[in-house]
């Protein structure tokens, strides 16, 4: 059967079979697609072209990305199957030596050696030899991983292996209250047991009950000790308790242990979570309205004040007002709103609160104490402070809220404006968002709390990629406006080639000029200067076969460069100190700077939980190569709390001395005391005084560091620190935040002198004065750039060399006669800066160092949501996302693996975000809705897609219409994809799973395959690639055999209910593309369950028109001549639907 499947493309794409620049292979089955990256009505539009070829069974066998490599060559992905029709090998894409303009490549692997050398370029899946096809081993690409598979084992528990907990649930204040009881152990074969062993032999064992609920996650620490996290469900199958490793080790415990270490959850009669308690933190309460929307929340500190945070909604369920309201017990608050849907309506002029007019009704709980934020949708509200509405931005017409003036389009359903109050005072920030006629954000205008503004205008291309951005800024409305212009240049596949930056009338600076290898990995970046031929620095990058970065320049040969850095995973030099790692952990790093020219090295060793045990410091070419001058080693409890820390430094004689020998004392996970046996104050100051906490688990004093008190606002953000500076004067630091958590000001008071720092949309100002009287004007110090910052005092660009963690290692600039190093920083593994060398003073106003975070006067780093203490490797506040990392103590930093991971803002890692146009991307600055850009929707790290195929009863014209109801769902598939990030927070891989369920048929049981395909085409795979990550899914279903007989009798073929998804993540721009395919029948939808957004909608055609079996002849019968029909099955037929 030789069907040639041409292309059907929509949304920025067009029917393009025959539009390729050369003839495609005419004897092959293929689907070709062309996506326009620039306006197709203009001459020579930029396109991205793909051809997918199929074998005789309709299976993909080759994908050709036409001219996709940086040099314009075809990039081919080879696909092959084993004897059972399973795709057990996944090949890396192979750039070709030339382009065939989409023609099939007869020998797709022929050019592999020129790209990958002698490396193995495919990953392997060893599948179980059974109809289940369960994965037994996953062997990654690369020769060194051939004998380092990830192993999967499926079995059942043995007797005595798993502790059994049960609950007795009662009702208290209209909520469940589940007491927990130890009930011995599970008997043999009562639980499913799945074991995953990673490349380095680290085991994770998951036990599930018959309902599919996780009962236990066991991490094997060593031969004699496990880290067990138990999940305990109540009689209503609700998660009631989580028992972390340190508590589960005890099996039974008292109330103090329970309050300090356990997670506990309580639910109301509608199964809504209404009370929860996290380890070391007081109870948190939640209240919902009749529509099950969260209306009130309260933590322990707010409860002591009888205050609640609230959300109010509009008719469409969008949050419109947040604030603080007085209230009593949770049950009383619940009773107040239980029978109401909390909705307010636009009603200018509305009401006034905290000095702001709120243009909504205030019908529900009108006795508001404080309004914190207001969101406006659909139409722009009328305020006296509104900036003039732009009719166009960079030549693009701005979408208005009046469809009569925008060609029938409007800002309806869009977020158009928000008001955000400062927590500490009644000053407000006013944010406006502007869209083009395609609904894309092209402008933002933010009026800051001082009355000035920051205005950003972006020029987007045909597909929404930013071409240039103009930022205009004033601190005060009376100040002189600063104008920053950024221009972005891309290649034919939208890889960033050049980024320029211009401040006011200064010459345009080239921040980065990029070149890529044939795998689209960044190979060289020219940094700084006004010409690409004479950059300030040229930075080279190298990668291993896994796509992991291995070098930033070459530390063994700087060749005139200022900084070199090498990361070694499976190829360390000091193998006795740092065994080779294959699971992504880093075994060694080398670095060298131009300042001293000394090659330096850290060798790392980990335990079975991937926790860093020690970083051994070496100078391989020095006189004492392994003196461990700056070594750091740690010991942990089962929750990951550091119990011992040892740290070295170099004394004035060049010898190693111990500066820290720390012992940690805990109450649960709370660090209550640190003692230092070294008696050396160069690292941790010592003292052994008791550390205090409030009922939210926030550290409120640290006497060893001279901190007498720390105060927090309702977001648990530090608002004031009082400390003794070492003399008779007490230092006080006060912070000002917006209600969305953004820091806008800091005042540091010491000895009658006040220094104020203002943070205004990246523009940072300093001001100082005596007592509490500041100077009349602030000085603009700098604004960050993608490669460092622009220093307004020096009127120069300062560039930062950063390592894989974003640590600022070396800062430099062009002083007019050459390159000058401004600052050098090197760090212990947990972030404390090395002392005794790299003593350049740097810029006192620019204090962004470890992980790129701002160093505070207290020695802590401000990550946004929490302050981090690098001298003891811990946070001082409970992780706001502690429930996502339940087997770790909520004060741990980066899961105790700070060489591999970072914590971008103190809450967690980066997440997916959905733009207003529905497209999805990975935002390395988003951790919740508050941290996403205006008009965008936070999705989290996990994406959930629902693919539904159904017969639309209104369109059904098949047999027995009106007699038998053929309508309804025929196949539902749910895909879950989770993003995994690398050390720098970039998404490097996707992991996932899927579940498919058949619908109903009028007669018999449906089949989860199409007979023409058997089950071999039901596939799901997720793979990493050098250019990003890919997930592919295919599922078929068909009617029961008896219904097939009936349809054949009526002269019809049966339907191949076919679903297919191809999801690609592009690491160069962070975008996630989702391509959905179906057969020609029936109807189908694809939804993103995170938001309910419909990504694809397809309506079925006529059933007789598409599935009438063709007549092939005639057969005599007693009743006359009957037609002979072809009821044979056909190969997969897919058509792109979005």
Q: What is the C-alpha separation between 563 and 557, in angstroms, rounded?
A: 10
pLDDT score for 2:
37
**Dihedral sign, CA of 739, 743, 748, 753?**
negative
pLDDT score for 327:
95
pLDDT score for 979:
75
Q: What is the C-alpha separation between 649 and 655, in angstroms, rounded?
A: 8
Name residue, tokens 């001001």. Answer: 767
Name residue, tokens 């919902």. Answer: 288
Give Cα 781 to chain centroid, integer Å.
31
CA distances, 322 to each of 290, 315, 370, 425, 539 (Å): 18, 16, 9, 16, 47
- The tokens for 511 are 């921040």
| Nearest CA among 975, 973, 1008, 1015 for reference residue 993 | 975
pLDDT score for 7:
32
Per-residue pLDDT of 574-592, as tens digits, reads 999 999 999 999 999 999 9
Other C-beta atoms closer than 10 Å to the C-beta of 562 total 22
| pLDDT of residue 17 exceeding 60 | no
Q: Which of the 8 DSSP states describes residue 246? A: H
Name residue, tokens 């200018």. Answer: 348
Polymer length of the chain: 1138
Rg (CA), the chain: 31
Q: What is the C-alpha separation between 58 and 1133, in angstroms, rounded?
A: 7
As a whole number, mean pLDDT of residues 485-513 equals 95
As a whole number, mean pLDDT of residues 321-345 equals 96
Percent of the chain topping pLDDT 90: 64
Question: Which residues share a beta bridge with 973?
Answer: 947, 996
pLDDT score for 174:
94
| pLDDT of residue 1 exceeding 60 | no
pLDDT score for 1095:
84
CA distances, 91 to each of 106, 115, 990, 1081 (Å): 16, 13, 16, 32
Average pLDDT of the residues of the chain: 89
pLDDT score for 11:
30
Q: What is the C-alpha separation between 147 and 139, in angstroms, rounded?
A: 8
Residues 6+ apart with CB under 8 A from 494: 37, 48, 463, 465, 1068, 1069
Other C-beta atoms closer than 10 Å to the C-beta of 275 total 20
pLDDT score for 14:
31
Q: What is the C-alpha separation between 275 and 743, in angstroms, rounded?
A: 30
CA distances, 268 to each of 174, 299, 308, 600 (Å): 6, 18, 19, 58
Burial of 1137 (0-12, 13-18, 19+ CB in 10 A): buried
pLDDT score for 4:
32
As a whole number, mean pLDDT of residues 663-675 equals 97
Domain ranges (residues) in the chain:
1-133, 542-896, 940-1138
Q: How confident is the model at residue 16 (pLDDT cuts 50, 70, 90)?
A: very low
As a whole number, mean pLDDT of residues 432-448 equals 93
Give Cα 122 to chain centroid, integer Å.
27
- The tokens for 737 are 């935040």
Per-residue pLDDT of 1001-1048, as tens digits, reads 777 788 888 887 666 677 777 766 555 677 888 888 888 888 888 888
Q: What is the C-alpha separation between 194 and 199, in angstroms, rounded?
A: 17
Q: What is the C-alpha separation between 560 and 918, in angstroms, rounded?
A: 47
Q: What is the C-alpha separation between 371 and 890, in angstroms, rounded?
A: 30
DSSP H or E stretch at residue 1122: strand 1120-1125
Residue pair 48/37 in contact (Cβ under 8 Å)? The answer is yes
As a whole number, mean pLDDT of residues 131-151 equals 93
| pLDDT of residue 323 exceeding 70 | yes
Other C-beta atoms closer than 10 Å to the C-beta of 967 total 15
pLDDT score for 980:
63
Cis peptide before 148 (omega within 30 of 0): no
Q: How confident is the model at residue 1090 (pLDDT cuts 50, 70, 90)?
A: low
As a whole number, mean pLDDT of residues 245-252 equals 90
Q: How confident is the model at residue 968 (pLDDT cuts 50, 70, 90)?
A: confident
Q: Which of the 8 DSSP states describes residue 337? A: H
CA distances, 81 to each of 33, 166, 741, 1025 (Å): 24, 47, 52, 19
* DSSP line for 764-823: EEEEEEETTEE-SSPEEEEEEETTEEEETTTTEEEEEEE-TT--EEEEEEE-SSSEEEEE
pLDDT score for 354:
97
| pLDDT of residue 919 exceeding 80 | no
Per-residue pLDDT of 530-565, as tens digits, reads 999 999 999 999 999 998 999 999 999 999 999 999
| pLDDT of residue 935 exceeding 90 | no
DSSP H or E stretch at residue 335: helix 330-337
What SS3 state is found at 312? strand
| Nearest CA among 265, 288, 486 for reference residue 394 | 486
**Dihedral sign, CA of 309, 312, 316, 319?**
negative
- The tokens for 121 are 């370029």
Q: What is the C-alpha separation between 666 and 115, in angstroms, rounded?
A: 53
Residues 6+ apart with CB under 8 A from 649: 629, 630, 656, 657, 659, 682, 683, 834, 835, 836
- Burial letters for 318-357: b for 16+ Cβ neighbours within 10 Å, e otherwise? ebbbbbbbebeebbebbebbeeeebbbebeeebeebbebb
Per-residue HEC secondary structure of 879-937 comes to CCCHHHHCCCCCCECHHHCCCCCCCCCCCCCCEEEECCCCCEEEECCCCCHHHCCCCCE
Burial of 438 (0-12, 13-18, 19+ CB in 10 A): middle
CA distances, 13 to each of 45, 1019, 1032, 1138 (Å): 12, 27, 21, 9
Cis peptide before 349 (omega within 30 of 0): yes
As a whole number, mean pLDDT of residues 720-735 equals 82
What SS3 state is found at 340? coil
What SS3 state is found at 371? strand
Per-residue pLDDT of 821-869, as tens digits, reads 999 999 999 999 999 876 777 888 999 999 999 999 999 999 998 999 9
As a whole number, mean pLDDT of residues 966-982 equals 78
Q: Where are the beta strands (DSSP E) in 422-558?
A: 428-435, 441-447, 453-460, 466-474, 482-490, 496-503, 509-516, 522-527, 537-543, 549-552
Other C-beta atoms closer than 10 Å to the C-beta of 504 total 12
Total-model pTM: 0.82
* DSSP line for 740-761: TS-EEEEEEEETTEEEEEEEET
Q: How confident is the model at residue 5 (pLDDT cuts 50, 70, 90)?
A: very low
Question: Which residues share a beta bridge with 867?
Answer: 862
Other C-beta atoms closer than 10 Å to the C-beta of 380 total 16
| pLDDT of residue 909 exceeding 50 | no
Q: What is the C-alpha separation between 707 and 700, in angstroms, rounded?
A: 9
Per-residue pLDDT of 29-87, as tens digits, reads 988 888 888 888 889 899 889 999 999 888 889 999 999 999 999 999 999 999 988 88
- The tokens for 761 are 């949309």
Percent of the chain topping pLDDT 70: 91
């Amino acid at each position: 059967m030789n069907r040639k499947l041409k292309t059907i493309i929509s949304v920025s794409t067009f029917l393009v079979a025959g539009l390729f620049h050369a003839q495609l292979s005419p004897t092959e089955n293929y689907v070709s697609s062309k996506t326009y990256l620039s306006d197709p009505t203009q001459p020579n539009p930029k396109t991205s072209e793909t051809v997918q070829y199929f074998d005789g069974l309709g299976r993909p066998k080759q994908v050709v990305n036409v001219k996709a490599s940086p040099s314009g060559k075809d990039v081919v992905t080879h696909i092959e199957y084993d004897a059972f029709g399973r795709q057990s090998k996944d090949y890396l894409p192979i750039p070709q030596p030339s382009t065939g303009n989409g023609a099939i490549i007869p020998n797709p692997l022929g050019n592999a050696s020129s790209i990958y050398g002698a490396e193995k370029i495919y990953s392997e899946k060893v599948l179980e030899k059974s109809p289940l096809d369960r994965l037994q081993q996953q062997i990654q690409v690369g020769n060194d991983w051939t004998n380092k598979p990830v192993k999967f084992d499926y079995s059942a528990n043995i007797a005595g292996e798993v502790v059994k907990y049960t609950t007795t649930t009662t009702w208290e204040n209209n909520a469940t209250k589940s007491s927990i009881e130890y009930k011995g152990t599970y008997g043999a074969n009562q639980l499913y047991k799945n074991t995953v062993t990673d490349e380095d032999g680290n085991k994770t064992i998951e036990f599930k009950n018959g309902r599919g609920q996780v009962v236990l996650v066991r991490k094997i620490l060593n031969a004699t000790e496990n880290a067990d996290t138990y999940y305990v469900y109540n009689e209503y199958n609700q998660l009631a308790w989580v028992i972390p490793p340190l508590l589960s080790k005890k099996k039974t415990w008292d109330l103090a242990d329970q309050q300090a270490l356990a997670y506990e959850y309580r639910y109301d009669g509608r199964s809504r979570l209404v009370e929860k308690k996290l380890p070391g933190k007081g109870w948190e309460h939640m209240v919902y309205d009749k529509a099950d929307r969260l209306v009130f929340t309260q933590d322990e500190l707010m409860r002591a004040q009888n205050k609640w945070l609230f959300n109010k909604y509009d008719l469409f369920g969008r949050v419109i007002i947040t604030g603080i309201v007085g209230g009593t017990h949770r049950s009383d608050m619940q009773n107040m709103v239980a029978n109401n849907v909390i909705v307010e309506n636009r009603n200018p002029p509305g009401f006034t609160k905290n000095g702001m007019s709120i243009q909504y009704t205030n019908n529900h709980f009108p006795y508001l104490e404080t309004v914190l934020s207001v969101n406006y949708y659909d139409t722009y509200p009328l305020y006296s402070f509104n900036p003039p509405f732009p009719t166009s931005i960079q030549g693009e017409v701005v979408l208005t809220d009046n469809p009569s003036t925008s060609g029938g389009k409007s800002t309806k359903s869009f977020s158009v404006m928000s008001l955000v109050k400062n927590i500490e005072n009644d000053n407000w920030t006013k944010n406006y968002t502007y869209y083009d006629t395609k609904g894309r954000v092209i402008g933002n205008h933010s009026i800051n709390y001082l009355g000035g503004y920051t205005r950003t205008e972006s020029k987007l291309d045909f597909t929404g990629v930013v071409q240039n951005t103009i930022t205009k800024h004033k601190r005060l409305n009376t100040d002189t406006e600063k104008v920053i212009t950024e221009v972005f240049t891309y290649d034919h596949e939208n890889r960033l080639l050049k980024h320029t930056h211009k401040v006011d009338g200064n010459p345009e600076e080239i921040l980065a000029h990029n070149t890529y290898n044939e795998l689209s990995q960044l190979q060289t970046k020219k940094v700084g200067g006004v010409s690409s031929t004479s950059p300030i620095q040229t930075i080279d990058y190298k990668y291993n076969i896994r796509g992991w970065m291995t070098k930033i320049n070459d530390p063994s040969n700087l060749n005139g460069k200022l900084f070199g850095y090498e990361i070694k995973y499976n190829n360390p030099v000091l193998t006795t100190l740092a065994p080779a790692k294959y699971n992504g952990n880093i075994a060694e790093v080398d670095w060298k700077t131009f300042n001293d020219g000394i090659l330096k090295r850290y060798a790392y060793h980990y335990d079975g939980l991937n926790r860093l045990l020690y970083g051994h410091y070496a100078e391989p070419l020095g006189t004492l190569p392994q003196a461990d001058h700056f070594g750091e080693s740690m010991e942990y409890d089962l929750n990951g709390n550091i119990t011992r820390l040892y740290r070295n430094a170099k004394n004035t004689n060049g010898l190693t001395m111990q500066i820290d020998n720390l012992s940690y004392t805990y109450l649960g996970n709370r660090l209550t005391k640190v003692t230092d046996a070294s008696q050396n104050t160069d690292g941790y100051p010592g003292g052994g005084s008791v550390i205090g906490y409030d009922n939210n688990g926030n550290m409120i004093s640290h006497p060893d560091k001279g901190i007498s008190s720390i105060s927090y606002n309702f977001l648990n953000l530090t608002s004031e620190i009082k400390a003794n500076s070492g003399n008779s004067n007490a230092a006080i630091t006060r912070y000002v935040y917006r209600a969305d958590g953004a820091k806008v000001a800091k005042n540091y008071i010491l000895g009658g002198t006040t220094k104020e720092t203002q943070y205004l949309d990246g523009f940072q100002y300093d001001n100082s004065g005596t007592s509490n009287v500041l100077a009349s004007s602030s000085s603009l110090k700098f604004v960050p750039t993608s490669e460092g910052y622009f220093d307004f005092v020096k009127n120069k660009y300062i560039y930062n060399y950063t390592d894989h963690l974003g640590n600022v290692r070396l800062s430099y600039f062009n002083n007019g006669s050459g390159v000058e190093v401004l600052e050098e920083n090197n760090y212990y593994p947990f972030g404390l800066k090395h002392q005794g060398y790299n003593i350049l003073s740097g810029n006192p106003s620019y204090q962004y160092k470890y992980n790129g975070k701002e160093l505070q006067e207290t020695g802590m780093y401000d990550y946004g949501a929490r302050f981090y203490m690098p001298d003891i490797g811990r946070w001082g506040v409970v992780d706001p996302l502690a429930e996502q990392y339940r087997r770790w103590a909520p004060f741990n930093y980066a899961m105790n693996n700070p060489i591999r991971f970072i914590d971008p803002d103190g809450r967690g890692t980066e997440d997916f975000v959905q733009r207003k146009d529905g497209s999805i991307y990975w935002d390395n600055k988003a951790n919740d809705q508050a941290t996403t850009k205006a008009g965008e929707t936070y999705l989290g790290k996990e994406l959930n897609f629902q693919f539904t195929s159904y017969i639309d009863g209104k369109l059904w014209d098949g047999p027995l219409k009106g007699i038998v109801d053929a309508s309804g769902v025929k196949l539902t598939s749910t895909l879950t994809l989770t993003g995994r990030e690398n050390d720098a927070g970039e998404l490097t891989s996707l992991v996932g799973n899927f579940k498919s369920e058949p619908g109903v048929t009028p007669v018999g049981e449906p089949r989860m395959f199409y007979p023409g395909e058997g089950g071999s085409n039901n596939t799901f795979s997720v793979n990493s690639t050098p250019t990003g990550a890919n997930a592919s899914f295919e599922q078929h279903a068909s009617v029961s055999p008896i219904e097939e007989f009936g349809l054949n009798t009526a002269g019809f073929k049966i339907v191949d209910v076919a679903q297919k998804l191809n999801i690609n993540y592009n690491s160069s721009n962070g975008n996630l593309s989702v391509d959905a395919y179906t057969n020609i029948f029936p109807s189908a939808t694809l939804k993103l369950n995170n938001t309910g957004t419909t990504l694809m909608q397809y309506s079925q055609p006529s059933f007789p028109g598409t599935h009438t079996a063709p007549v092939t002849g005639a057969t005599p019968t007693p009743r006359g001549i009957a037609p002979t029909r072809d009821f044979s099955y056909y190969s997969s037929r897919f058509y792109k639907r979005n």
